[in-house]
Structures are given as structure tokens and as C-alpha cells.
Amino acid sequence: MASNNPGRPNFPGRPAASPFGAAPPQAANPFLPSPPVVRPDASGPRPPSNPAYPSTVPFPATGSESFRPAAQGRFNSPYAPPIGPPPTQVPPTSNYLQRFPTPQFPTTIQTTTVSGRPTGPPSFAPPPQTNEPTPIQPSYVASAAVPNFRPPPQAPSIPMVTTTQGYRTTPQVSPSPYFGRPISYAPPPPPMGVAGQHSRDSLQHPMSGPPVGNLQGLVEDFSSLSLGTVPGSLDPGLDFKALPRPLEGDVEPTSLSGSYPFNCHPRYLRLTTSGMPNSQSLVLRWHLPLGAVVCPLAESPEGEEVPIVNFASTGIIRCRRCRSYVNPYVTFSEGGRKWRCNICALLNDVPGDYFAHLDVNNRRVDMDQRPELTQGSVEFVAPTEYMVRPPMPPLYFFLIDVSVSAVRSGMLEVVAETIKSCLDNLLGFPRTQIGFITFDSTIHFYNMKSSLTQPQMMVVSDVEDIFLPLPDDLLVNLSESKTVVETFLDSLPGMFQDNTNVESAFGPALKAAFMVMNQLGGKLLIFQNTLPSLGVGRLRLRGDDPRIYGTDKEHLVRIADDAFYKQTAADLTKYQIAVNVYAFSDKYTDIASLGTLAKYTGGQVYYYPNFQIAVHKEKLKHELARDLTRETAWEAVMRIRCGKGVRFTSYHGNFMLRSTDLMALPAVDCDKAFAMQLCLEETLLTTQTVYFQVALLYTSSSGERRIRVHTAAVPVVNDLGEMYRQADTGAVVSLLCRLAIEKSLSSKLEDARSFILLRVVKALREYRNLYAVQHRLAGRLIYPDSLKYLPLYTLALCKSTPLRGGFSDAELDDRCAVGSTMMTLPVKKLLMLLYPSLLRVDEYLSKLPPRLTDLKEIGGRLPLTIDSLDSRGLYVYDDGFRFVIWIGKMVSPDISRSFNVDFTADPSKANLPLGDNEITKRLMSLLNKLRESDPSYYQLCHFVWQGQQPREGFYLLTNLLEDQMGATSSYADWIVQIHRQVQQNA
């Protein structure tokens, strides 16, 4: 997935005194809201206003303060010294509006309580001391002093000094943009609260400065990071440990579960925001992608299986106009004889066989017995009118490269062994069809009729004019010819063990496979080890040219080199043939061209660079077996409908668009997701709710035509802030990822990365403008809590294999293969790939019992930074596609003996065989448990020990995305970069 880059440093550039010696830091969460503290003894009335004060009071502001509602037990915090009773102070005797040419600023923020009209916040007495003080999350602010600034009357000194990693950060006052402009309006005293307490609007942070009407008392409903750079310093003034990190993984949105309980589960349908904008102006100010991510066959949550409904003679209930399916959001009227479509509002007749009376609440009396009226996801059995032809049987056809490189690498042996082991578990028994073609410079067909005792091989050497020698016997029923098929698979590796042919007639072999399959359709599995060199579809060894990077021709190496592949993919889709490509090679294979076949047929690409049977055998066996045995929807089409005024405009993923909104999917499974963007057709939406309905029409492996329907409803909002509060980071990142990868296929990589950054900057700038008047925002990057991980995920996206760097940062085939995979991944799997898991497991291996029942026993995930690595520990890095086991030099002797690691020898020459002992058994049990949690791919295991170069840098250090590596930004630098761009023209 990554490549070794000799021209790039193997260690992060972010300075660290002892990178391998520090214990892993605990990530702090600065986003926990806390209520303001009210003085417990504030029972008397507020003092009367002082007539000696002038009626015109200026509004001094502190633009870079980091205001946060004070946490309970604020003044019991170990981070702040105890505060004594406030001393009595009087107003200054000098002119209140006098300018001081040389102001003296205190080292800490101070406020003053005076008799008369209050000009500062109410003073607070500390609450009673408790044995368990509640810690607070400090906010870090640094700002320069401003000359010619007159401080307001001030109160007792309340120091707030926080220390982190050896430096002190003291909040200071920053200049007010309104200085020197006296205001002719003096705000009245805030109203009294109950029992003599101050009202909510008057409650302020003890160091927030004097009140300005009700604006100063607004509760901040956003999250923020304080940044305060000191002039001439490279320190961003940012607490690195307090940066938000998704250490809990993907969290599916549940904000609408109470308002819309009939919505389908988020793993089937996720919107980028659950607040649909009511106008075009809101859409233009949203800036992030507006759309949805759909995974129609996602594995259902435990205990929530999708119900199957068979209407039999009644026929499926659908709207006459928009053709939507009946769902929990339709309404019945006229005693149950009519139902109103929730998508287009048309009043439809209820068929007589479907009629039921209504109760006093206008609910059908049989609603509890109707899953389609109570479940957001349902599957209808389709009648014959939904069939263009009789349902096809599941068909598996294998196109296998048998050139010399395929034989010597061991690929042919593993493929034959795995297919044979899965014959009993192939879908659709006893209707399953199967067939084989092998090829090198010639094409080999196999007759496997059940009447034969062993298969017959027929060789066609004329690759320019391909034909089928036995058109009717190249596909056989597996249940009838199983013995012949097993005999063929047993003999296949030996048939070509002495083959020395280095050529590949892949294009002609692909045409032959199409000629065999076009009557039934099915799944075509291609095993390709050599660059196609003969006949139609032959490819050039174009490789990767460093001279084209940064030019307008850069993207050409990332798209198909021959139009043959896209045209063939269109033909395959037309005849319901899906293609999965398994590519194995230690040389350039042109994944950009081969992947086109999977892209337009609903398939996927599996890439095994430099395949070696000793290393990759288990990975290939697992992934091929899952491909052959997972539940699959055949000859499918999918459409997503939405309410009036909303329309989907673009679709992203692996499919062929048959019409403006109908996606053709010859085969689809639970590991495939699709994204789409939407827009408003009308200037202003007049409805209060927008409904979405996904319908997948497919043939099941049992030969039944079915329609899987997912329905969801979202509210229409007229507030941009509400759109951001209802945002779904996972869906936003998933859609943004697909848009960026597609952009890299038509422009430079730098343009794709800039596209991501610009979207995020514009969105955060727009969000900042919502609060720029009511709150002090200088020196702070603010964002909605729902998008607190968006900057990190976008950084990970820019550092991902398809988009990072340039010529020397990733192999071309790696870029194309990973990019093709990311275009199909569901949200949870994609986020795992972007921000992998890092676990410390040495304590578990040494102390806990050998049987692991819950992964939570191991401990929490760690930030992806070199500071998380301790030379005394053992860590597991998991991105969903591979494991990296990192072993520190000072790991306990028991563990080092278990792995036979000799750190006294040269690390580059050391080996790491797994011993047969209790510790290694626990480690293997842990890895298997992680694999079982998501079986879609098999994580290949790479062992790395501290100091082993270049292996350590290649597998782990370059993937610690929070650190600076080469020309890439660290997480802290990325936040600063976003903050600076957000502030421009804000």
C-alpha cells in the first residue's frame, strides 16, 4: 500500500528530545461543554448604579481570549491557585475616558468589582472545597500587548497560568477593533434572576472582561482551538495533546433517531448533513459536499435483520406518479381507502387486498403486522413484471494468467487451491454455473462436461481472430460436474509448472470470456500477473515519468492507456457481467487500465505487489474465498429517489450509469458503497421534511427477484448553523474522498489536494462568520462539534496513497489500486484506512489471561505520532488492510525471548521468527480477533523493530500521519495553516 522512498527522510521532522523514550500521551478532549459557575451565596440584590459614572461607556473587547463556560468546581482545579476573597477597590479617580500613552499590562488577566453600576463580571466566591476536585481542560491563548490601549477598571487578580511541556501560556488582552470610538448608548443593568441571582445573560467567565449587553453572555455552541503565535516564534501556541482525534473510530449519526424513528439504519444511508437547506443561498454557503453515501447491502446490525415482504397477488404498493414504494412515512386517509405518498404527495388508491381500517389516530389497525409500515429497511419479493428475463443462476468464470511469472510466484497454486476449497460454499447451489480459461501467448479453453472423467483442454493460438471451439460446453453446472472441476483444479498448477512463456494475450482472452458469458452474465474473476503484450488491449510499459509531474499531462498515467478497456467494460455491464481484478506482479502492471474493467462493472481491484506464496498466501486465500462466498446481488439496478425540490446530480463509485439516475450493478455485495451529490431544484423549499428512498432491484442467489428499499427522512432547516451542527463527518469525508480521487484522474495531484483544503477552509470560514459578531474569536479556530475531526481526516486524505506527494512518494500502480479501492469502501472502512488504529499490547501479552473476549481489554487507541511509541512497549498498527507489529528495543525480556529478537546484533540483519510459546499465541489470538471484527480484507502482518531501517520508516514511521514527514505537514501545522486561511477575508 505504501512504497519505499529513498529520497525522503525516514523520520518525522517534528523535533522530539527523546522520540522513543516517552510514555504514550493521553489524548485530552477539549470539547466537553460545562455549565457556568454561579456564586452559591449570591442572594442579595445587585448594587444600584453609580450616578458618578458617565452615561457613555466604551466597549473594550478582548479579541483573542479563549472564552469557555467555566466547569463545575472551576476554582478547585489543580491548574489554578485558590482564590481568596476579593479586596475592596474603588473606581479610578482619573478621567474614565483618558488615554494612557504607556499602558502597563498585568501579567495575568484582572477584573475589578466596584460599587455602583457593574462594569465587570459578577464576582464569584469559590465553592466549598471537596475531596475530589473536578479538573478542567485549560485553554491556551497567547497574544501580544497592544500600545495605546486603556484597560477598563479591574478587579482582584485571578491568575490563570497553565503549563504544558515546559512552557507557560498566560492569557492576555488583545486589542479591540473599536478602541477610541465612544458609544452613545449605555446598556441597562441586566435583569435580576430568581432569588436575587444574576440572570443567565449576565453570567460570564471570570476573565472575560466587562459585559456588552446580552452578547457577552451568549453560550458558545461551538468548539474551538486557541492559537496564539508569538511574533518571531515558530511555536503555533497550540496544545498538541488537546487536538481532536477520532480514537473511538467512526460514530454513526443518531441525532434523528428520536424525531424520525422509522429511518433506516445509518449504515445503509448516511447524509452529509441531516439538516436539509431550505434555499439555494444556504447551499452556496455550505461549501462542503451536499449528498449521501449509500451501502444498500450492508451487513445488518445484530438483531435487526431486514424483513422480507411478499405481497403475492396484491402486487407491490407503489406511488402512481413517482414510483416510490410504500414506507412508514406514508399517511392513510378516507377510512383507509387512500394513501398519500410522502415523496411527491400524490393521493393513491389502496388496493382491496391491502385495505385495513384506521383507528382514532388514523393509523392502520394492522400496522404492527406490516413491516413495510414500521421498518425503514425492507425487502420486497418482486413479481414477474419486474423481470426482463428469468432470474439468472449465479455464474463464476475464472480468467487465469499462466505465464512463467504467475507459475513461479506461486499465484497459480494458491488460486487453484482456494477455488477448490470454496466449491461447496459457492452461492446458488444447485444452480451454480462455473467455467475456466487460462492464457499466456495462447488461449486455453476447458470442456468439463459431467460425462467426462477429466477435463479436455483446447488451445487457440490465433489471438487476432478469437473464437470459441466448443460454445456449449465451456460453462457447466457445478453440482453435475463437480468431480471434473476438482480434477482440473488439482492438475492446474502441474500443467504449467514448466511453462517459460513470458507473453500475455490478456485482451483476446477477455474477449473470449465475454463470448462465453454473455448469455447469462455473472462474475468474471481475472488473475493477471503479466502486462498485456499481445493482441487487442496490449499495453505499453509507460510506467511513471517524473518529468510530467506538475504539468497538464500528469493525470494521463492514472487513466486507461487504451480505449479498449472502457468499451469492453460497457459491453460487460450491458450483459450483466461484473469484473473483479486480482493483480500480481513485481513490475509495472498498469492497474489504471485493468482497473477500468472493475470501475464500470461494479467490481473491485485486489492488488498484491511482488506476490510471494510464503508471504501473501493467507491474504489471497481469505480475500478470494470471501469474494466467492459472500452474499451477492446479481443483475442489479439501483435508484435513489428524493422529495420535491431536491435532485441528485452526480454519482461516484464503481458502476455504469444507465440513465440520468439509474445505476447498473451487475453484481453488488456488502463491501460496496456509492456516493452521490444533490442540489435544490427550487429557490426555496416549502416543505418541512425531505424524504429519501433507496431502491435496489436484484436477483438473489436463490433465484428470487427482490427489491431492497431503505427510507429516511430529514428536517428542512433555514439556519446554516443547524446544517453544520447536523453534519456527518464520515459521510462528508467519504464523498470528499471520491471527489478528490476523481479530480486526480483529470488534473494534477496538487490540484486535488488544494481542492480538499479549499473546501474545508471555506466551510470553516463561513461557520466562523456566523459567530464573529456575538463572540470573541480572534486567536481561535472554531468549528461545530460534529466536524471536529474533519481537519484531521482531510490531512489524512491528502497524505493517502492516491493523493500524496509526487513521483517519488508512491508507485503508480499503488496509487491506482488504492484509489480504486477507496472509491468503493463503506464509510467505516474508509475512516479506518485514513486514521488507523495504534494499540499498545505488551501489557496484555504479559499479564492478562490468554483468552481475549473483548478488544476493550487491551486499552484505548493512541494518537498516530511518534511520541506515542515507547521503546519499552510493543504496538499493533492496523489500517484494515495490514498489521504492523512494532517492537521497542527495551521491551521486557519475556517478550523479546518469545520473539527470538536479538537487539545486540545489527537490526537490519536480524530476523523475527515466531516462537511457539504463550506470548506469541496471545498475539496471534489478538490479531485474529481484530481480523474477525471486519472480515472484508485480510490484514497482512509485518514485524518491525525499533531502529530497523528502512523497514521501520517504510511500514510505520511514514504512516504516523500526525507527524511531519518530508514536505508534508504535521497535524499542528495543518491546523495552523487552516486557521490562517480561514482568517483571511473572514
Of the candidates 563, 392, 417, the residue with the CA atom closest to the CA atom of residue 491: 417
Residue 407 and residue 493 in contact, taking contact as beta carbons nearer than 8 Å = yes
List beta partners, residue 314.
Answer: none
Write down the pLDDT at residue 781: 84
**729-744 helix and 827-834 helix, angle to the nearest 10 degrees:** 70
List the end-to-end C-alpha distance of the chain, in Å, as a whole number. Answer: 39
Residue 234 and residue 14 in contact, taking contact as beta carbons nearer than 8 Å = no
Q: Please state whether beta strands 705-717 and 276-277 pair in parallel, antiparallel, or not at all (unpaired).
A: parallel
Write down the pLDDT at residue 152: 44
Which ranges constitute the DSSP H helices of 772-891?
790-799, 812-822, 827-834, 842-847
The SS3 of residue 637 is strand
Residue type, 191: P
Q: How many helices (H) and strands (E) does the chain have?
A: 19, 31
204 vs 210, 218, 633, CA distance in Å?
9, 9, 59
Report which DSSP code applies to 679. E
Nine-digit cell string for 982: 480561514
Q: Whole-angstrom Cα distance, residue 674 to residue 291?
A: 11
Residue showing cell 486514521 = 835
The SS3 of residue 698 is strand
Q: Whole-angstrom Cα distance, residue 605 to residue 652?
A: 16
Q: For the chain, which ranges sit under pLDDT 70?
A: 1-222, 224, 226, 228-237, 773-778, 848-854, 901-915, 985-986
Q: Whole-angstrom Cα distance, residue 565 to residue 580?
A: 14
Write down the pLDDT at residue 895: 86
Of the candidates 400, 474, 409, the residue with the CA atom closest to the CA atom of residue 435: 474
615 vs 404, 414, 849, 885, 946, CA distance in Å?
19, 12, 30, 15, 22
The DSSP result for 28-52, as a single string, is: P-TT---PPP--TT--SPPPPP-TT
Q: Whole-angstrom Cα distance, residue 17 to residue 21?
A: 9
Q: Whole-angstrom Cα distance, residue 490 to residue 487?
A: 5
Overall pTM surpassing 0.85 (yes/no): no
Of the candidates 405, 439, 409, the residue with the CA atom closest to the CA atom of residue 530: 405
Residue 633 and residue 670 in contact, taking contact as beta carbons nearer than 8 Å = no
